[in-house]
Amino acid sequence: MADAADQFGFTNPAERIKRLKQRRIDILPFSFAETRLIISTIREDYRLYLIVRFFTGLRTGELHGLQWKYVDFERRQILVRETLVRGNVEYTKTDGSQREITMSEPVYEALLAQRQRTGQQDYVFCTANGSPLDNDNFTNRVWYPLLRHLGLDARRPYQTRHTCATLWLAAGENPEWVARQLGHCDTTMLFKTYSR
């Protein structure tokens, strides 16, 4: 169609429309002390979930859609292959999001303990009936009340991903490794996001 428009000299009426600016979400990571406080204070049934969430950098949908078949205890890796979007399991956000996340010792221990709880289910973190966690339910009934109780500023649960990245970088991890763990194809997004 564009070729025909060019051939006959028609102009594209949308050509002069400026792209809408996307509001940039503030990066407000938790400090290590705040992270420890949150994990030590959270309800017991969510403690292992938050350890994995804070120390893997998984996106919410990747964590909520994580199934036991993608947890490799022998190689100590989480295989990110799918994500949960509005209750449906889908292919990850991008091809680059398909990755293997190295389990740190706390994550490895948390997943071993979680396997005792939900190992008979498909999903690693799930409700009593085996369905994946609902993000809105967790956010409104557990997360925000916990932050209020601790006197911490309200921040979306997604800030756990930013916290993980900043903790890795502060610990001196190789930026290329951090980018791969987060599912970025290179360090461009990493530096664009965390170098401010």
Q: How far is CA 26 from the centre of its chain?
A: 16
Which of the residue ranges 84-88, 114-118, 141-145 would you say has the lowest mean pLDDT? Answer: 84-88
The pLDDT tens digits for 134-176 are 999 999 999 999 999 999 999 999 999 999 999 999 999 999 9
Q: How many domains does the chain have?
A: 1
Is 48 among the domain residues? yes
The string of DSSP letters for 62-86 reads HHHT-BGGGEETTTTEEEE-EEEET
Please give the residue range of the domain that contains residue 123: 26-60+105-181
Q: In terms of Cα–Cα distance, which of 143, 170, 172, 119 is closest to 53? A: 143
pLDDT at residue number 86: 85
Could you tell me the two tokens for 65?
A: 């859609």
The mean pLDDT value for 85-102 works out to: 85
Beta strands in 41-159 (DSSP E): 71-72, 77-80, 82-85, 88-91, 99-102
- pLDDT category at 128 given cuts 50, 70, 90 is very high
Distance CA 69, CA 64 (A): 14
pLDDT at residue number 121: 97
* Cα atoms found within 13 Å of the Cα of residue 15, Cβ hemisphere only: 7
More confident position, 191 or 156: 156
pLDDT at residue number 25: 66
Distance CA 111, CA 153 (A): 29
Torsion of CA 44, 144, 129, 87, to 10 degrees: -140
Is 65 among the domain residues? no
pLDDT at residue number 194: 77
Is 100 among the domain residues? no
Do the beta carbons of residue 73 and residue 108 sit within 8 Å?
A: yes
pLDDT at residue number 15: 60
Do the beta carbons of residue 126 and residue 118 sit within 8 Å?
A: yes
Is 131 among the domain residues? yes
What's the predicted TM-score (pTM) here?
Answer: 0.85
pLDDT at residue number 22: 53
pLDDT at residue number 32: 97
Is 137 among the domain residues? yes
Is 157 among the domain residues? yes
* pLDDT at position 193 over 80: yes
Is 130 among the domain residues? yes
The pLDDT tens digits for 18-75 are 555 555 568 999 999 999 999 999 999 999 999 999 999 999 999 999 999 999 999 9
Is 122 among the domain residues? yes
- pLDDT category at 97 given cuts 50, 70, 90 is confident
